[in-house]
Chain A
Amino acid sequence: MTTEVIKLQGADLQTEEMILNLGPQHPSTHGVLRVILKLDGEVITGADLDVGYLHRGTEKLAENRTYPQMLVISDRWDYLSAMSNNLVWCLAVEKLLQIQAPPRADYLRVIMVELNRIASHLVFFGTYGIDIGAYTPFLHAFREREKILDLFEEVSGARMTYNYIRIGGVMADLPADWIGKCRSFLEWMKERFPEYDTLLTGNPIFQDRTKKIGVLTKENAIAYGVTGPNLRGSGIKFDLRKDEPYCSYDKFQFDIPVGQDGDCWDRYWVRMQEMKESVKIVEQALDGLPAGEPNAKVPRILRPPHGEAYAQLEAPRGALGIYTISDGNDKPYKVHVRAPSFINLTMLQEILIGQKVSDVVATLGSIDIVLGEVDR
């Protein structure tokens, strides 16, 4: 009898921290990521992230490969937007070589990168729905993405690892009537956005699961070096396409969607709006596609003079950068990949604290990481 009374008063209640492993093999981690959660009841008091399961030593591989050979490996960083990876490597090498891609190549690059941005955000849209518990958006998203991959297959011969954007230009000019197919896809795509809004954006359960969840403040976003839609979701209007235009992005009219609160909902909303802006950019690029050669004159064996270059661009996941040092040989002396997923993921260890377990997957999904790029 007496013990029961004491228990009711809570005097000898033993409470202890619980450790919960999320991953490394778990569908909601979008790859092989392990999150070690410390729980007090249902509230998270600490989150340790364990990455590196997919590490392939890109930077070491780069030191043993010639500049064009490295292009093939760049496809494998962020395999959902391989065009951006190709492009940033080419921009870095073109800086070292001090060559300029012709205007037609610039436009073709913009078309490919923006189509790839739509495809990448579609994967986010689909998988984020699954994370939250809605399966249908995934099927819609992959149906649309399939059409983009078909377009890519026609120009490059590959569906994921394109190797299309080459140093000094692109692999080949567009095939016949590709522009028509691309235009009809864009028209079709525009009508899908309202569908997405009815499927997921306007769903009250989805909104409840994402609004005011995983809030990343402006100050934290900057301190953690967050870039891309995650940074814009926190209300900072920074986009390398506008702020430091490359590949003639300054010739296109488009808006930069910006969120307000920095929660999961804002990060989601920014990506949905970005797809619409990308459609606008591709349309303008198709309209204004200049005639001429799609390739600059590039020597057969590339030996950039000694020097160093930092090239960066706005990939679907943030600012993707390449820092490379050349010592005058045909292989780079040093390569560093500034991978946006890797740097964006750092913030997770802070914004998870104080949340409930059920919000972990919603928060992790909203950062939109690709583990191939985190681990490189």
Chain B
Amino acid sequence: MTNSELFAVIRTKISEVSEIPAPEAKAGAPAHEGKPYRDPYLFVSCPAAKWTDLSRLLKEDPQLDFDFLVMVTAADYLTPEPKMEAIYHLYSFKHRHKIFVKIPLPRENGSVASVISLWKTADWQEREVYDMYGMKFSGHPNMKRILMWDGFPGWPLRKDYAHIPDRYDD
């Protein structure tokens, strides 16, 4: 299926989902900056409240059938407005199509539904995102740090993370 057909299938079931348009060159940007690049897959934005419905649809609808969760990550933005995004990349072995889902969240106390019941690989990947960005995944049975140690101060991959000097700095 093409991207627009994929999006039409999703849109008929969940109307809150919107397509993220490909980035365009900023007006007045110098020529040497070149054209912005984005992979030719479908990028959708989904409100956090609808992610449970959308994830189930993506996994279980026979036309979509996204059975493989490739990766989970997040991105942190301070400008233009402070926000975070949880990013899911899915793939279908049967139909060979791909999708990126981005879920906008507030920077403080952001929470998104865990998809561990649909894709077991979300277990560690969501823990890693929590570890690095501090966003909670509700419904995850073991939501604690994975790469950093318990009691580590702060969320390392946030853009306003400040390193506190400790005994390893010398």
Interface residues of A (CB under 8 A from B): 51-52, 55, 57, 59-60, 63, 95-98, 220, 222-226, 236, 238, 243, 303-310, 312, 319, 321, 323, 325, 328, 333-334, 336, 338, 342-343, 345-347, 350, 375-376
Identify the closest chain A residue to B158 (Cβ). Answer: A60
Are the C-beta atoms of B147 and A375 separated by less than 8 Å? yes
Tell whether B156 is near chain A: CB-to-CB under 8 Å. yes
- For chain B, residues 18 to 39, give those with C-beta under 8 angstroms from any C-beta of chain A: 23, 25-26, 33-39
A1–B145 Cα gap in the complex (Å)? 54
- With A52-B148, A223-B120, A346-B120 known as contacts, the answer to whether A59 contacts B37 (CB < 8 A) is no
Tell whether B6 is near chain A: CB-to-CB under 8 Å. no
Tell whether B75 is near chain A: CB-to-CB under 8 Å. yes
- With A98-B37, A305-B33, A375-B147 known as contacts, the answer to whether A343 contacts B25 (CB < 8 A) is no
Are the C-beta atoms of B25 and A305 separated by less than 8 Å? yes
Q: State the Cβ distance, A277 to closest chain B Cβ, in Å.
A: 22
A236 proximity list for chain B (CB < 8 A)? 93
Tell whether B121 is near chain A: CB-to-CB under 8 Å. yes
Among A52, A307, A346, A375, contact of B37 (Cβ-Cβ < 8 Å): A307
- For chain B, residues 137 to 151, give those with C-beta under 8 angstroms from any C-beta of chain A: 145-149
Are the C-beta atoms of B124 and A346 separated by less than 8 Å? yes
Among A52, A306, A310, contact of B39 (Cβ-Cβ < 8 Å): A310
Are the C-beta atoms of A307 and B38 separated by less than 8 Å? yes
Are the C-beta atoms of A222 and B146 separated by less than 8 Å? no
Provide 14 A-B residue pairs closer than 8 Å at the C-beta atoms, listed in order of the A residue.
Answer: A97-B37, A225-B68, A225-B120, A225-B125, A304-B34, A305-B25, A305-B33, A307-B36, A307-B37, A308-B38, A309-B37, A323-B87, A336-B71, A343-B121
A309 proximity list for chain B (CB < 8 A)? 37-39
Identify the closest chain B residue to A333 (Cβ). Answer: B75
Are the C-beta atoms of B120 and A60 separated by less than 8 Å? no
The A interface, classified by DSSP as helix, strand, loop or mixed, is mixed
Known contacts A95-B37, A243-B96, A346-B121, then 4 further A-B pairs from the complex at CB < 8 Å, ordered by chain A residue:
A51-B146, A222-B68, A319-B70, A342-B124
B33 proximity list for chain A (CB < 8 A)? 303, 305, 328
A55–B145 Cα gap in the complex (Å)? 12
Tell whether B50 is near chain A: CB-to-CB under 8 Å. no
- With A52-B148, A309-B39, A343-B125 known as contacts, the answer to whether A338 contacts B75 (CB < 8 A) is no
A303 proximity list for chain B (CB < 8 A)? 33
Q: State the Cβ distance, A175 to closest chain B Cβ, in Å.
A: 35
- For chain B, residues 29 to 79, give those with C-beta under 8 angstroms from any C-beta of chain A: 33-39, 67-71, 73, 75-76
Tell whether B89 is near chain A: CB-to-CB under 8 Å. yes
Identify the closest chain B residue to A94 (Cβ). Answer: B37
Q: State the Cβ distance, A55 to closest chain B Cβ, in Å.
A: 4
Are the C-beta atoms of A52 and B149 separated by less than 8 Å? yes
Tell whether B119 is near chain A: CB-to-CB under 8 Å. yes
Q: State the Cβ distance, B165 to closest chain A Cβ, in Å.
A: 16
A212–B35 Cα gap in the complex (Å)? 53
Q: State the Cβ distance, B28 to closest chain A Cβ, in Å.
A: 13
One digit per residue, 1 when the CB lies within 8 angstroms of any chain A CB and 0 when it does not, for chain B 85-106 equals 0010100010010001000000
Are the C-beta atoms of A57 and B23 separated by less than 8 Å? no
Are the C-beta atoms of A222 and B93 separated by less than 8 Å? yes
Are the C-beta atoms of B132 and A59 separated by less than 8 Å? yes
Are the C-beta atoms of A238 and B37 separated by less than 8 Å? no
A96 proximity list for chain B (CB < 8 A)? 37
Q: State the Cβ distance, A139 to closest chain B Cβ, in Å.
A: 35
Are the C-beta atoms of A95 and B39 separated by less than 8 Å? yes
A308–B43 Cα gap in the complex (Å)? 11
Identify the closest chain B residue to A342 (Cβ). Answer: B124
Identify the closest chain B residue to A236 (Cβ). Answer: B93
Are the C-beta atoms of A343 and B35 separated by less than 8 Å? no
Tell whether B157 is near chain A: CB-to-CB under 8 Å. yes
